[in-house]
Amino acid sequence: MAASGCSAPGLWVRGSGQCLGSLFTLFSKPLCSAAAAASRPLDAQRLAERLRAQKQQQKTKEPAPTNPVQRRVRELVRFTEQLQRVHPNVLAKALSRGIVHQDKDLVVINKPYGLPVHGGPGVQLCISDVLPILAKILHGHKAKPLHLCHRLDKETTGVMVLAWEKEVAHQVQELFRTRQVTKKYWAVTVRVPVPEAGVVDIPIVEKEAQGQQHHHKMALSPSYRMDDGRMVRVRSSRNAQLAVTQYRVLSSSLSAALLELQPVTGIKHQLRVHLSFGLDCPILGDHKYSDWNRLAPQKLSARILKKLGLQQSKARHLPLHLHACQLTLPALQPQMEELTLICKPPRYFVSSLRRLGLKMPSRDHGADEEATQPGAQ
Which are the catalytic amino acids? 153
Rounded to the nearest 10 degrees, the angle between the axes of helix 347-356 and helix 68-80 is: 140
| Residues 177/179/185/191 CA torsion (nearest 10 deg) | 100
Cα Rg of the chain, angstroms: 28
- Name the residue type at position 317: H
307: CB partners within 8 A, 6+ apart: 255, 355, 356, 357
ω before 345 within 30° of 0 (cis)? no
- What's 113's DSSP letter? T
CB atoms within 10 A of CB 323: 27
What is the rounded CA–CA span in Å between residue 305 and residue 178?
42
190: CB partners within 8 A, 6+ apart: 255, 256, 281, 282, 283, 284, 290, 298, 300, 301, 304
Given a contact cutoff of 8 angstroms between Cβ atoms, the answer to whether 350 and 375 are in contact is no
Query: Do you know the residue count of the chain?
Result: 377
What is the rounded CA–CA span in Å between residue 87 and residue 141?
18
Given a contact cutoff of 8 angstroms between Cβ atoms, the answer to whether 5 and 29 are in contact is yes
In terms of DSSP H, where are the helices of the chain? 20-39, 44-61, 68-80, 88-97, 131-139, 166-177, 270-273, 302-308, 347-356
